[in-house]
Chains A and B, each alone.
Chain A
Amino acid sequence: MYVAVKGGERAIENAHAWMAERRRGDREVPELALEQVAEQLSLLVDRVMAEGSLYDPGLAALAIKQARGDVVEAVFLMRAYRTTLPRFGATEPVDTGAMLCERRISATFKDLPGGQVLGPTFDYTHRLLDFKLAAEGEVPEAPVGAPREGAVPHVVSFLNAEGLIQDEPESDETPRDLTREPLDFPADRALRLQALARGDEGFLLGLAYSTQRGYARTHAFVGELRIGMVAVEIEIPELGFSVEIAEIRLTECETVNQFKGSKSEPPQFTRGYGLVFGQSERKALSMSLVDRALRWKELGEDFVGAAAQDEEFVLAHSDNVQATGFLEHIKLPHYVDFQSELELVRKMRREAGAMQEAAE
């Protein structure tokens, strides 16, 4: 027998009204403006854009405000909005070599063309709470220097020139898109990179850390980490030529990893790659370590059973919207399911009791 139960509309409405009131907080405190979120919580905005897989700082700021600062809830809102948008097409692959770098560091080469540029970083701060920020006060303008002319080449290109690092095969193949077709395995590298780029930062951080601690160790050096503005170019189908319609901020990480040789090839470094919307270097680093670990098969390494090597494990669990959807659904009513379990346990206990009595 199935009995449909209705009810709870008023309770739900009132719960949402209370949630909205709590979100607003103390009315004596000025309401948060979206510009304040976008300008002053910009790394949070970047994270919501990256995991929401939709670059739009204004929308991300709104999602953060609506979600009361809950990252996964905000990401969920971004994903839901994205599904309402028609797809106009795809961009040309971005040229990160032409990036206007705000930050560019290498842990492998001290002196390199373009130099070590620290940019607006938390590195080398003392991680002491700054109580000056608790009081109001203006921040002085940061100093300016004389920019150097010319391109800032990728660090791995130096190793590439000597053949010391594994080359990335060039291709213009249209990549598979996990937002348009169900994820199936084996996934190719393009699909893995797409999943990692939108994956949960915390999950990827944990996996990347596990490889450093010895689970599928790949001994990564940060060949290069760069953050800055990159041109987005799309072809205008009506006109038949392409236009640079925007500049977006990206974080890119290239790792240089342990090498392996074979009978036919001399030893070479290998590489992992991370590319993320916004300023998000923890995520880009994590992505490149996990990308490298997932490449074991193509690089002729052994599968040692580590989580970070298992593409099905990584890709099926890295999406926080998917994960939270399934996790959180168990708090919704399961009265009928549970009722049947309850009946079953009672029946089993009755039977066990009867058997025990019979035995005695």
Chain B
Amino acid sequence: MTESAERRIECRMERRDWMGVLARADPERLAGAWDALGLAPGFEWLRKPEFGAVMVRGRAGATGAPFNLGEMTVTRCALRLEDGRDGHAYVPGREAAKAEIAALCDALMQGPEADEVREKVIDPLAGDAEAERAHIAAKAAATKVDFFTMVRGED
């Protein structure tokens, strides 16, 4: 893991950060981490997993007025643990199982299980994401052009 990744994970995490890590996680990696955690809290659905779309917007000329670029698929759900904590999830794609785990983790992160969930689920997944970014950056760096100038003509 890079130094910046460690820094990022160490800093105090807000709810939007862990929800983001859960949403962007690889579904299989998230399911694996959840199984390894071994928690099975009882809950009731506030909103069962539902497929939908969000309209992705861009800006004209990158910085100007917004325009509608196109939609992407999203799955959302919300649930309530037996002790009353709510968990929400919005995840990309059509991923009902992933959304359920993400909402459960979101709820658990707001109570006594937070440290354990962070250590076994959130931090490793954030590390994965950082490693993936570093991998892309390193591949791209190898294709950066180094110009050199040919000296031509007479002195």
Query: Chain A interface (Cβ within 8 Å of chain B)?
Result: 49-50, 53-56, 58-59, 82, 85-94, 96-97, 100-103, 110-111, 115-120, 142-148, 154, 156, 168-175, 177-179, 189-191, 193-194, 197-198, 228-229, 232, 234, 236, 238-239, 241-248, 250, 252, 254, 271, 273, 275, 277
Taking a contact as CB atoms under 8 Å apart, the answer to whether B70 and A53 are in contact is yes
27 interchain pairs (CB within 8 A)? A53-B71, A54-B71, A86-B52, A88-B53, A90-B54, A94-B58, A97-B63, A100-B133, A100-B137, A115-B144, A117-B143, A142-B142, A145-B141, A154-B62, A156-B61, A156-B62, A170-B63, A170-B65, A177-B68, A193-B69, A197-B58, A236-B19, A236-B90, A245-B90, A246-B23, A252-B62, A273-B62
Taking a contact as CB atoms under 8 Å apart, the answer to whether B142 and A54 are in contact is no
Tell me, yes or no, whether B20 is within 8 Å of chain A by CB: yes
Task: A197 to B56: give the CA distance in the assembly, Å.
Answer: 12
Taking a contact as CB atoms under 8 Å apart, the answer to whether A58 and B65 are in contact is no
Please tell me which one of the listed residues B73, B78, B139 contacts residue A85 in the complex, with CB atoms under 8 A apart: B73
Taking a contact as CB atoms under 8 Å apart, the answer to whether A88 and B24 are in contact is no
What are the residues of chain B within 8 A of A56 when measuring CB–CB?
72-73, 93-94
A319 CB to nearest chain B CB (Å): 13
Query: Chain B interface (Cβ within 8 Å of chain A)?
Result: 15-16, 19-20, 23-24, 50-74, 76, 78, 88, 90-94, 133-145, 147
By beta carbon, the residue of chain B nearest A116 is B145
By beta carbon, the residue of chain A nearest B68 is A194
Task: A252 to B15: give the CA distance in the assembly, Å.
Answer: 31
Taking a contact as CB atoms under 8 Å apart, the answer to whether A273 and B53 are in contact is no
Task: A59 to B72: give the CA distance in the assembly, Å.
Answer: 11
By beta carbon, the residue of chain A nearest B143 is A118
Task: A252 to B63: give the CA distance in the assembly, Å.
Answer: 12
Taking a contact as CB atoms under 8 Å apart, the answer to whether A198 and B134 are in contact is no
With known contacts A54-B53, A142-B139, A147-B137, A168–B63 Cβ distance under 8 A: yes
B59 CB to nearest chain A CB (Å): 5
Task: A89 to B52: give the CA distance in the assembly, Å.
Answer: 9
Most buried by B among A93, A169, A175, A229: A93
With known contacts A94-B58, A102-B140, A246-B23, A189–B53 Cβ distance under 8 A: no
By beta carbon, the residue of chain B nearest A197 is B69
By beta carbon, the residue of chain B nearest A196 is B67
With known contacts A91-B55, A232-B92, A171–B65 Cβ distance under 8 A: yes
By beta carbon, the residue of chain A nearest B95 is A58
What are the residues of chain B within 8 A of A194 when measuring CB–CB?
67-70
Nearest first, the 7 A-B pairs at minimum CB distance are A168-B64, A145-B141, A168-B61, A145-B142, A55-B72, A246-B92, A147-B137
